[in-house]
Amino acid sequence: MSTAASASQKMASRSPMAQLLHALNQPLTGLQCSMEVALASPRTAGQYVQGLREGLTLTGRMRALVEAMREIADIGEEKDTKPETIELTNLLQEAVEELKPVAEVKGVRTFFLAGPETSCVVRARRAEMASAMFRLVDSVVSLASRGTALQIETYCQSSGMQLRMQWQSEGSGSALSRPELGLLIARARLERAGAEWEREAIEAMETLSLRLPGVSHQSVE
């Protein structure tokens, strides 16, 4: 395994909040360096303008990270309410259907594979799970390369539900772009509901696996 791949896996193993705190260090350091350079010696007006532009870019980056941190912190502080019996596969299918126009514009073909004779039922808060499923699918569609396929598979067992998503990554851009931030927020909400999260990349192929407990195995009439 390469050093870069090892570092990437180590980062992915950290909690969403830990990843955001780590990511915040880079633009903070960049902004500090930019200000120190500006004060080190006289500069032209053009150089000052360029420095301000770079500073605004770094500030915007920090703001996006802090907003994600605040949303994840809010998830952790939400009061527990009475859970409902939720058909989780249906919530996932609804999110896929709602985001179909976005996927079509990008040329991403979505394949949803689920056993026709089973359904995944979980005790959870419907609004929270619907939000997590939408954020999850939305982020992955954004991360997928144009003209490629997104495969979504669900497996319902007595021990729980397994969800697997696989897509071809764009392979460029920030390590924590807005879609990546959305994925971290979805992860935080799902982990709060007891989900186990695993993500791996082999070259440009990304695979996300989720295991959710408390799901019963039922036959669909």
Domain ranges of the chain: 3-77, 84-219
Cα-only R_g, the chain: 20
Q: pLDDT grade, residue 10 (50/70/90)?
A: low
- Determine the Cα–Cα distance for residues 71 and 82; give it in Å rounded to an integer: 22
Q: pLDDT grade, residue 173 (50/70/90)?
A: low
Q: pLDDT grade, residue 6 (50/70/90)?
A: very low
Stretch (H or E) spanning 56: helix 45-77
The predicted pLDDT at position 172 comes to 58
Does the pLDDT of residue 180 top 70, yes or no? yes
Q: Write out the two tokens for 51.
A: 């420095």
**What is the fold, at CATH topology level, of the domain defined by 84-219?**
Heat Shock Protein 90 (3.30.565)
48-94: per-residue pLDDT in tens? Answer: 899 999 999 999 999 999 999 999 999 888 777 777 888 888 899 99
Q: pLDDT grade, residue 20 (50/70/90)?
A: very high
The count of other CB atoms within 10 Å of the CB of residue 130 is 18
Please compute the mean of the pLDDT values over residues 135-146 and round it to a whole number: 95
Burial class (CB in 10 A: 0-12, 13-18, 19+), 190: buried
Does the pLDDT of residue 98 top 70, yes or no? yes
What pTM was computed for the model? 0.84
HSE-CB of 109 using CA atoms within 13 angstroms: 5
**Is 133 in a helix, a strand, or coil?**
helix
Q: Which range among 49-53, 169-173, 214-218 shows the weakest confidence by mean pLDDT?
A: 214-218
CA distances from 166 to 113, 141, 142 (A): 12, 11, 13
Please compute the mean of the pLDDT values over residues 26-48 and round it to a whole number: 90
Please state the three-class secondary structure of 70-103 as a single string. HHHHHHHHCCCCCCEEEEHHHHHHHHHHHCHHHH
Q: Write out the two tokens for 46.
A: 């053009």
Q: pLDDT grade, residue 183 (50/70/90)?
A: very high
